[in-house]
């Protein structure tokens, strides 16, 4: 049977084989979001499934897309209205010329996406770099956030600053390095406790957005902007109930920041996920979904 996908996705999407990947890809939508970042609306890709309850909004990690939530989103949407969005400069969202793709720009675009399509307080869930984006958004738009969930989150420790000093041809080579299939496979293997999850389908999910125009330019711009800084000094300003979910075997960020987040955010709870690496939403999606839904009702 010939599968149908929206034409804003690269044709390689037809090579997906796993049911969760295919189902999510077929449900990716695109809408035009007006922002102060450009005169032209930004064609923004997202997924929205489920109904009822406080909306749950999922933010993916670095150099990723909404496909990162192919296992978690259906589990949440079975009981609750759930959204996922491709952040500015990432995923399948349009990369317009003239936008710096900094953390501040990502936050502005996210706010206008939220304002346009959701426009009510959400449970904001951020994974890895998406956790830093979620913290940044919560600090600036606290009225938009009912609860915060951090999945093996960046944002406590200062990120690498070398990107600010990259210049051609080093910037080009650095980004091209991330395109290499073996590099992406090794990153994926490090992200999982159980490396059997690193299938051909999983690797395709991590690489589909590389086929879109201006992937190079946006990733270089974000990296050279410095990315996300440490929010260590501001975490005490977060008043929303915060759930911290962390894989016990995280080899990407380690495990030390989990307790640091717990200590810094007053109204927070930390849950460790056994037999899990950096991506609990992919490796232990049912358990992760249960913890999020339980916290929704907490």
Which residue out of 112, 209, 278, 281 is catalytically annotated?
278
Which backbone phi and psi does 279 adopt, to 5 degrees? -125, 70
By the 8 A CB rule, do 128 and 278 touch?
A: yes
Is 250 designated active site?
yes
Which of 102, 116, 133 lies closest to 32, judged by CA?
116
Helix segments in the chain, DSSP class H? 19-26, 72-77, 103-117, 129-140, 170-179, 181-191, 200-207, 215-224, 256-264, 280-283, 285-296
Is 128 designated active site?
yes
Rg of the chain taking only CA atoms, in angstroms: 18
Which of 133, 67, 152 lies closest to 124, judged by CA?
133
| Lookup: tokens for 178 | 């991330």
Other C-beta atoms lying within 10 Å of the C-beta of residue 56: 27
Which residue out of 64, 128, 144, 188 is catalytically annotated?
128
CA distances from 73 to 164, 178, 185 (A): 34, 26, 23
Is 109 designated active site?
no
Which residue out of 250, 257, 268, 281 is catalytically annotated?
250
Catalytic residues: 128, 250, 278
């Amino acid at each position: 049977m010939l599968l149908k996908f929206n034409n804003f996705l690269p044709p390689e999407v037809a090579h997906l084989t796993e049911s969760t990947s295919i189902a999510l890809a077929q449900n990716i939508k695109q809408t035009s979001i007006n922002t102060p970042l450009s005169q032209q609306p930004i064609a923004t890709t997202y997924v929205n499934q489920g109904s009822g309850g406080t909306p749950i909004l999922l933010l993916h990690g670095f150099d990723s897309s909404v496909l990162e939530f192919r296992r978690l989103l259906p589990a949440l949407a079975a009981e609750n209205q759930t959204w996922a969005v491709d952040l500015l400069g990432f995923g399948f969202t349009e990369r317009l010329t003239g936008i710096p793709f900094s953390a501040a720009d990502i936050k502005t675009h996210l706010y206008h996406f939220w304002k346009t399509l959701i426009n009510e307080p959400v449970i904001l869930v951020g994974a890895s770099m998406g956790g830093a984006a979620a913290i940044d958004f919560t600090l600036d738009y606290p009225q938009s956030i009912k609860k915060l969930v951090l999945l093996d989150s960046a944002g406590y420790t200062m990120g690498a600053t070398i990107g600010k000093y990259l210049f051609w041809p080093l910037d080009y080579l650095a980004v091209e390095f991330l395109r290499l299939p073996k590099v992406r496979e090794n990153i994926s293997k490090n992200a999982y406790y159980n490396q059997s999850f690193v299938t051909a389908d999983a690797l395709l999910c991590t690489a589909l957005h590389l086929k879109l125009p201006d992937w190079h330019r946006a990733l270089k711009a974000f990296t050279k902007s410095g990315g996300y800084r440490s929010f260590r000094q501001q975490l005490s300003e977060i008043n929303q109930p915060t759930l911290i979910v962390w894989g016990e075997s995280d080899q990407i960020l380690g495990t030390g920041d989990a307790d640091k987040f717990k200590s810094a955010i007053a109204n927070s709870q930390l849950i460790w996920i056994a037999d899990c690496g950096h991506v609990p939403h992919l490796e232990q999606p049912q358990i992760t979904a249960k913890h999020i839904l339980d916290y929704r009702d907490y």
